[in-house]
Chain A
Amino acid sequence: MKEHATKAAAFIKDEARTDWHDESLWFVRSRRDKAAHGIPEWEQLRELASQIKDHTLSHLDEYLEAFEAKAIENGVTVHWAADAAAHNRIVHGILQEHNARRIVKSKSMLTEECGLNEYLEAQGIEVVDTDLGERIIQLKEEPPSHIVMPAIHLKKEEVGELFHQKLQTRKGATDPQYLTEAARQHLRQSFLEADAAITGVNFAIAETGGVVVCTNEGNADMGTHLAPLQIHCMGIEKILPKAEHLGVFTRLLARSATGQPSTIFTSHHHKAKDGGAMHIVIVDNGRTTQLGRPDFRNSLKCIRCGACMNTCPIYRRSGGHSYDSTVPGPIGSILTPGIDLKKYSGLPFASTLCGSCSDVCPVKIDIHEQLYKWRQIIAEEGLLPTAKKQSMVMAGKVLSRPGWYKAAGKSARWVTRWLPRPLIYTPLNTWGKARELPEAPKESFQEWYRKNRSAS
């Protein structure tokens, strides 16, 4: 329950680094603001996107079947995976069938969620992540800390050191251009040798049976163009009904993610290249369960732009790893309790409910409302720490009884007025760690009122 707080406290110990992390993400948020404010119809676009997604989620079964039929018509092989294990098995099966041993993979939060890399590596299959940020954390053997910028927690000096060790770049080199070039040369080899390319999917169009992959580095295209076998892995919620809906989302996605008008590459894959093979794996892994929860179903509208992370004042100051889940930040905090309530019962509390996430979200997910609702469920399920629960029961009693309230208020003021500091500022008083308590006045407002306005 307290895990996020503990990890956050550890992160924040290095205050200069915390400030750097906060500023880096705030910079992205500011770029997003500029881009969003540059489009007069921004709020209408968000509303439209939200409605399209709501509609699609309400007819998900029909659109998924239509998508499958169309994809098959295009000559694509479609697979359905109920959970992460099935997904990994299916991908492995396809690779075996094609005798593929060297794989390049572009960014996919889904395969991250399913633990595909570890699974395939255990089967002796080499997977190289080709998104620069993903490659960095793969070399560093760390999970991503952000869904759009997976290595945002690392400084260029750290990347320089890592590349020096793994890619034999010059010691002490920190020039991003030099380091990126080194990564390019190193990845080029992997692209040329790959037997198969795996990509994530940003959007899947029911009408055409095609999938759309958005990247800035062109790495997904490089992979799918060169390797004979291409596999696209997608969650069931990626569906859009028609190609004409796509523009609404591509306009929102890149602006929300990085402040760009569009991603550099928006690639549409409809069928295999000549002599190649194309597979699509459609994954549930808990999504239909979430769809069945009226209060939480619209979390499935998420297009994984990361804007809610960039704006979250807690995420910016605690780092993505403090959430201990594949998708961190505000959206992660409403998705993960649906997967494992006990394990993630602390995450809905890692928020002030400031609501910035909901307002920044391009598909208008009421994230902070869902955080509030998860809190209620966590308390109902008895997953609150006992002391916390008891103090809330007590507060509920005091605050519904004016007489008790008056007495409690008086003693609270008395305590802060008269007790010596060491008795107040104890290690148990987490408020007092970095803050003074308010100075207690002689009388409460109620007492003042009785003296000064009693006639009314």
Chain B
Amino acid sequence: MKIALFIPCYIDQFYPQVGIATLELLESLGCTVHFPEGQTCCGQPMANTGCERDAIPTYEHYVETFSSYDYVVTPSGSCAYHVRKHYDIIEQTPEVQHLRQRTLDLSEFLLDVLEVEQLNARFPAKVGLHQSCHGLRGLRLGPGSERNLDAPSALHTLLSMVDGVEIAELARADECCGFGGTFAINEPDISAKMGKDRIADHARAGVEVITAGDMSCLMHLEGILRRQGSPIQVKHIAEILNSKA
């Protein structure tokens, strides 16, 4: 099984520890993981702004970089969703079709491919789980509070395998944090207000660490937390799953 690691651009540049945790976690589970040089981005920032035409070269670059692997694993539900859902505007070559099936969010790869049932991880803290929207409602990593379905939530399942984690009960289980890519820049006031409200929910629940499957949500929440001088930390779920403390 040839596995490639895809580290989205903003994680590469600003949160290398998330890439490292993802890599180490996969390696500790016995996977040989390659990190193809020259990878950049899935193209989502342009496409969500309406410029998917301008994203095509980036899509093509992604396909070129990753098409020789059996699986592409990424610590981002949002990027995985983008490749799977929106790479429909380029020619559907066998390579593109393959990547649109085999680009997986880390949690999907752990649960559906590796069929992980336990982890050797310890993280003693009260953790608030932020359900990033694209993972939740795009990749269907959980049922979502809107739908009347009895399905497990992938991130809950994984977190409950970590020794010491106490998952906090939130008043609003899966409300959006307000990041939304360029939305955060175009509608800064609503975006920040949404983030503040999410944080208040976590704070009321006594959360010490907010985690999520997407670092972009956490970057936004962390920006507000630091501005507020809050002691609440953010950690990508890969960091918690890879914790040995």
Contacts and interface: CB of A to CB of B under 8 A. Distances in A.
Query: B14, B136, B219, B226 — which one has the most chain A CB atoms within 10 A of its CB?
Result: B14
B189 A400 contact: no
Interface stretch (A189-197, A240-248, A279-287, A384-392): A384-392
Interface in A399-456: 399-402, 405, 409, 412-413, 430-431, 433-441, 443-449, 453, 456
Nearest to B64: A400
Nearest to B221: A435
Contact of A313 (B38, B176, B182): B176
Contact of B11 (A4, A379, A430, A445): A445
A350 B194 CA distance: 13
Nearest to A19: B197
Contacts of B188: 5, 430-431, 433-434
Given A434-B188, A435-B192, A359 B146 contact: yes
Query: A15, A40, A433, A446 — which one has the most chain B CB atoms within 10 A of its CB?
Result: A446
Interface stretch (A95-103, A126-134, A370-378): A370-378
B87 to A, nearest CB: 13
B84 to A, nearest CB: 13
Contact of A446 (B12, B52, B181): B12
A224 to B, nearest CB: 35
B13 A5 contact: no
A377 B194 CA distance: 27
Q: Looking at chain A's contact residues, is the secondary structure mostly helix, strand, loop, or mixed?
A: helix
A453 B226 CA distance: 33
A438 B18 CA distance: 14
Given A395-B45, A437-B223, A405 B189 contact: no
Contacts, number: 234
Nearest to A40: B148
Contact of B189 (A9, A39, A40, A402): A9
Contact of A311 (B51, B136, B146, B187): B146
Nearest to B220: A435
Interface residues of B, number: 80
A324 interface: no
Given A353-B133, A445-B19, A379 B148 contact: no
A37 interface: yes
Interface in B1-50: 7, 9, 11-20, 23, 32, 34-35, 37-41, 43, 45-50
A42 interface: yes
B180 A352 contact: yes
A412 B51 contact: no
B98 interface: no
A360 interface: yes
Interface stretch (B54-62, B109-117, B119-127, B154-162): B54-62
B7 A445 contact: yes
A412 B12 CA distance: 12
Interface in A349-382: 349-356, 358-360, 372, 375-380
A400 B34 contact: no
B59 to A, nearest CB: 8
Contact of A317 (B46, B190, B226): B190
A26 interface: yes
Interface in B162-211: 172, 175-176, 178-197
B14 A413 contact: yes
A352 B226 contact: no
Contact of B133 (A349, A352, A392, A447): A352
Nearest to B65: A402
Given A318-B190, A351-B183, A353-B48, A438 B40 contact: no
A143 to B, nearest CB: 21
Contacts of A352: 133, 176, 178-181, 183, 191, 194
Interface of B: 7, 9, 11-20, 23, 32, 34-35, 37-41, 43, 45-58, 60-61, 86, 133-134, 136-138, 144-149, 172, 175-176, 178-197, 219-220, 222-224, 226-227
19 contacts: A26-B172, A317-B190, A317-B197, A318-B190, A349-B183, A372-B86, A376-B53, A377-B50, A395-B45, A396-B58, A399-B41, A399-B45, A400-B60, A402-B39, A433-B192, A436-B222, A436-B226, A446-B7, A449-B35
